Amino acid sequence: MDLPCPEWVRHVEQKWTELKTEGTERFCLLTDIDAIFNYGLSLICPEDLNTLSRISEKYSVKKSPERASELRQQGNLSFKVKDYTTAALYYSRGVCHADKNTEELSLCYANRSAALFYQGLYRECVEDIRHSLEAGYPSHLKDRLRARQTVCLTQLKKPEKSNQPTTNHPTPPYQKTRNTKTCISPGVSVYFSPEKGCHILTTKNKPAGEVVLEDQAFCSVLTPGNKLNNKAGKTFNTEERHCHHCLSQSLSFVPCPNCSYVRYCGESCQKDAWERWHQWECPIGADLLAIGVLGHLALRVALKAGQYQVKIKLNLEDPCRETSDHIDCYHGNSYTGIYSLLPHVAQHSPSSRFLLAVTMAVLYMRLQGGPPPDMWASCEDEGESGTWQPEMSMLGATALRHMMQLRCNAQAVTAVMVKEESCMPVQSSSEIRIATAIFPVLSLLNHSCSPNTSISFTTGCQTDALNQFGCSEGHTDHPKTSHSGVTVTVRASKDLIPGQEILHCYGPHCSRMEVKERQHLLLEQYYFHCNCQACQRDLTEGSQNATENAAPGLKCLKCGKPLRSHMDRYMCSGLSCGHQITSADVQNKLKGLQFGTALKILTSDTSQANSILTETHPLQGELADATACYSKIIIISLTGEWNLAASNLKRSIVAIQAQFGEDSIELGQQLFKLAQLHFNG
């Protein structure tokens, strides 16, 4: 959930409507973010705090020993049927709900160690045994645990067993590395112009596939609630599968000692997150879930930046415009690059600004229930240390600034999830969103509906990942090695020439969306009218060409030529044919083509589709892909006829290339499937 939950939005909307005319008029005239925040803060009353408390009860993050016991029992059921992955995930839930230093916690750790042991995750198993013993594992059961520990240590001493593949990514200890000044490759540079602001151009030829930049997230927040089913049909959300600090996947999480929601892949991530922000986020964890990911991320950025950095930036009008070397402003730990992003205050509607201001004001008041964050504590008066000073309202105003920025600059962090089907000769995968982050360099890339780049993400702890370009050492705002661990890699998807702008797609893509819909969405969320080459082309070609290009991929039932849309019907493009069919009839035929679960039905559907659809229609691709999957399962397992599955995959490739383009990720995924099929065949 990016935005505040509906109940909170309705509460603030009611508060907005109850403002007197002079109050709304005064607020609408405010353009300074500090003034907007302070106005919202002045309106907060006990009813607002009570309302948020009531809403947050639905998002409780309290520990529950009873719930921990129930989850351990569920894990035991999965363990008995040898579904060790599901068992480990249930035990991890139990670990997070159990109170620290209790027998229930020790039992959850011990049981999880067994699930990890049977998956060959011996190092993780040893760690869980240690945690179990430290939590007070019952004395009469320790012999079994010690025996398991001995076997694990023996296995770890064997070289051939020590590097087993694992889904777990334990956090390494801090490593001393040189700081990264920039993550932009040679042949690429940051420029500034009044029309485009800061943007990135190539200065050398860049062939397709070459990395043009890497960027480390300044901050990220895990996106909750993305349900993932495993092969047993059990559902575990993204927040139960990924470290809440470095975002790496794991089966052996270390919990927060005080809440049941946050978990980490190792003690180093746990410690780093606690020192940076979680000790202040933890008491208001339920409130942050109710407020949404963008509000949470905005607060986290402000907590990390600290009062000193914010004051420095306030004294500069635009620190990234005042320097001739724009690269200095942009690297993963540079707060300057984040602060310089436009908040678009005027583009937010008054009601939207009011919602954000009141939301941040309430969060700020919630924070005051505990001590002030270290990075925001006043250093000027030692006698007042540990107390909230009036000037600390700058924390709330800074978080409000970042929340306004995030509307246009938040980046979804995605990961490829492979379906857990071990019997399949070819893996099926899908891309899911696991987090929202803000990147100082990636945010500089302007949009194109037909971009010349593709992006991918790396999670886990990266100590010096960005220095592959030979980046020089330089000052960073935080010299300590960052453990956020989220890195984005931007590659050229087309050959780039010197002077060409590097462009990124914000979401609306010309291969997936009509030009009018793209421009509407971009104007609504990003406040600009897109005039990229793809939009110019689609608008210039006119209605006839646009219809053919958007072309639903329908062909005439009589002569096989393409159909054109005209009002409520489709007409054959062949001058000598003149066949027409209503839109309703087309929809009925398409409904009859929904593929089922048997190869026989798919074959029949494909035969019908061939009579009314061109080979580039998206449904042709879906049918061919599904047929290929069933060929792999049924025919290959019985006869070994790999060629049948390969031919169906090739048919789907034609449709996917027509729909998404020859340089699309979707086409690459299908080609990878075909490569797997040929390799295994």
Mean of per-residue pLDDT scores for the chain:
82
Structure tokens at 578: 């003149």
Q: In b/e form, how buried is each residue of 298-336, taking b as 16+ CB within 10 angstroms?
A: bbbbbbbbbbebbeebeeeebbbeeeeebbbbbbbbbbb
Query: Which pLDDT score is estimated for 143?
Result: 94
256 burial (CB, 10 Å; 0-12 / 13-18 / 19+) is: buried
Return d(Cα 650, Cα 574) in angstroms, integer: 28
Label residue 318 by pLDDT band (50, 70, 90): low
Q: What percent of the chain has pLDDT over 70?
A: 77
The one-letter amino acid at 629: C
Facing residues of 418 across strands? 429
- The answer to whether residue 597 scores a pLDDT higher than 50 is no
Please check whether residue 410 lies inside any domain of the structure.
no
Are residues 84 and 95 part of one domain?
yes
647: containing domain: 592-681
Query: Which pLDDT score is estimated for 625?
Result: 67
Please check whether residue 41 lies inside any domain of the structure.
no
Q: With beta carbons less than 8 A apart as the criterion, state whether 342 and 408 touch.
A: yes
Please check whether residue 428 lies inside any domain of the structure.
no
Query: Which pLDDT score is estimated for 243?
Result: 95
Are residues 557 and 500 part of one domain?
no
pTM of the model: 0.79
- The answer to whether residue 634 scores a pLDDT higher than 90 is no
Sign of CA dihedral 659, 665, 668, 669: negative
Please check whether residue 100 lies inside any domain of the structure.
yes
Q: What percent of the chain has pLDDT over 90?
A: 53
Say how far residue 73 (Cα) sits from the centre of its chain: 32
Stretch 367-374: mean pLDDT: 88
Please check whether residue 139 lies inside any domain of the structure.
yes
- The answer to whether residue 17 scores a pLDDT higher than 90 is yes
* CA nearest neighbour of 188 among 207, 213, 216, 209: 213
Sign of CA dihedral 439, 445, 446, 448: negative
Are residues 556 and 611 part of one domain?
no
Q: Which CATH number characterizes residue 90's domain? A: 1.25.40.10
The count of domains in the chain is: 4
Are residues 76 and 161 part of one domain?
yes
Stretch 515-538: mean pLDDT: 93
- The answer to whether residue 638 scores a pLDDT higher than 60 is no
Are residues 159 and 93 part of one domain?
yes
455 burial (CB, 10 Å; 0-12 / 13-18 / 19+) is: buried
Are residues 577 and 598 part of one domain?
no
- The answer to whether residue 465 scores a pLDDT higher than 60 is no
DSSP category for residue 554 = B
Are residues 585 and 520 part of one domain?
no
Cα three-residue angle 468-472-473, rounded to 5 degrees: 115
What is the end-to-end Cα distance of the chain in Å, rounded? 43
Return d(Cα 10, Cα 15) in angstroms, integer: 9
Q: Which CATH number characterizes residue 209's domain? A: 2.170.270.10
- The answer to whether residue 624 scores a pLDDT higher than 90 is no
Decide which of 559, 591, 623 is a domain's last residue.
Answer: 591
Query: Which pLDDT score is estimated for 542?
Result: 52
Query: Which pLDDT score is estimated for 195?
Result: 84
User: Tokens 């000027």 belong to which residue?
Assistant: 380
Structure tokens at 325: 């070397």
Are residues 203 and 131 part of one domain?
no
Residue 129 or 320, more confident: 129
Query: Which pLDDT score is estimated for 123?
Result: 96
Decide which of 591, 613, 631 is a domain's last residue.
Answer: 591
Are residues 206 and 144 part of one domain?
no
Stretch 538-562: mean pLDDT: 65
Long-range contacts of 47-55 (CB under 8 A, 24+ apart): 48/11, 48/15, 48/358, 48/362, 49/362, 49/365, 49/366, 51/8, 51/11, 52/8, 52/287, 52/290, 52/362, 52/366, 55/5, 55/7, 55/8, 55/11, 55/290
Q: In b/e form, how buried is each residue of 431-440, taking b as 16+ CB within 10 angstroms?
A: eeebbbbbbb
Return d(Cα 662, Cα 656) in angstroms, integer: 9
Label residue 549 by pLDDT band (50, 70, 90): very low
Strands (DSSP E) contained in 515-651 are 563-566, 569-572, 580-582
Return d(Cα 586, Cα 593) in angstroms, integer: 11
Other beta carbons within 10 angstroms of residue 650's beta carbon come to 14
Label residue 337 by pLDDT band (50, 70, 90): confident
Return d(Cα 631, Cα 644) in angstroms, integer: 7
- The answer to whether residue 314 scores a pLDDT higher than 60 is yes
Three-state DSSP at 648 gives helix
Phi, psi angles (nearest 5°) of residue 127: -65, -40
Are residues 666 and 583 part of one domain?
no
Q: Measured between alpha carbons, how far is residue 308 from residues 186, 313, 564 in Å?
A: 33, 9, 63
Please check whether residue 608 lies inside any domain of the structure.
yes
Please check whether residue 74 lies inside any domain of the structure.
yes
Return d(Cα 300, Cα 296) in angstroms, integer: 6
Are residues 548 and 462 part of one domain?
no
Q: With beta carbons less than 8 A apart as the criterion, state whether 344 and 407 touch.
A: yes
Convert the pLDDT of each residue in 409-437 to its tens digit: 999 999 877 665 545 555 566 788 999 99
Structure tokens at 557: 């039932």
Return d(Cα 441, Cα 448) in angstroms, integer: 17
Please check whether residue 639 lies inside any domain of the structure.
yes
Stretch 87-101: mean pLDDT: 96
Three-state DSSP at 227 gives strand
